[in-house]
Homo-oligomer: A and B are copies of this chain.
Amino acid sequence: MTHSTRLTELEIASRHYMASYVLFNQAVADHVGMHPTDVQCLNLITAEPEPVTTGAIAEMTGLTSGSATRLVDRLVKAGYVERVRDTDDRRKVLVRVVPEALAGYGAMWARLGAGWRELLEENTPEEKQVLLRHMRRTVELSRRQIEQLREA
């Protein structure tokens, strides 16, 4: 990934791949009239089995706690989530997705997701394993490198 040396096909593809996600995320956000960060956040918390705290959202999105609060404000205002105080630790605020509110959002994903799912289904189970492994490894590597960057 130095710039003096030639980049491999795969490295170049990676860049465009990542860039395309940013564009896609932006397009989705524009379409539903939200900020890309908000879409990103919704995607992350709907992937979680349980409601998450504001702090967890801050960590997942890389925002400060203050900005995460504002992010949740926007999602609440838009009706996508609601705040629920944690009964165990009353300092915490659980952000719960409102399933009904995701109807329109879900309808969009039903259209888009179909194409996406097809794309995945074009792969054999073995190939899917390769992709899954690569994604997980990447997430892990990314996490380590972020730590490294913050230290230095």
Interface set of A (CB-CB < 8 Å, partner B): 1-4, 7-28, 30-31, 40, 43-44, 46-47, 60-62, 97, 99, 102, 105-106, 109-113, 115-117, 119-120, 122-123, 127-128, 130-132, 134-139, 141-146, 148-150, 152
> Of all chain B residues, which has the CB nearest A113?
B1
A5 to chain B, nearest CB (A): 9
Complex partner residue of A16 from B30, B47, B110, B152, CB under 8 angstroms:
B47
State in angstroms the CA–CA spacing of A13 and B4 once bound together.
Answer: 33
A1 to chain B, nearest CB (A): 3
A30 to chain B, nearest CB (A): 7
State in angstroms the CA–CA spacing of A26 and B58 once bound together.
Answer: 14
Max chain B Cβ within 10 angstroms of own Cβ: one of A11, A12, A20, A113: A20
> Of all chain B residues, which has the CB nearest A19?
B44
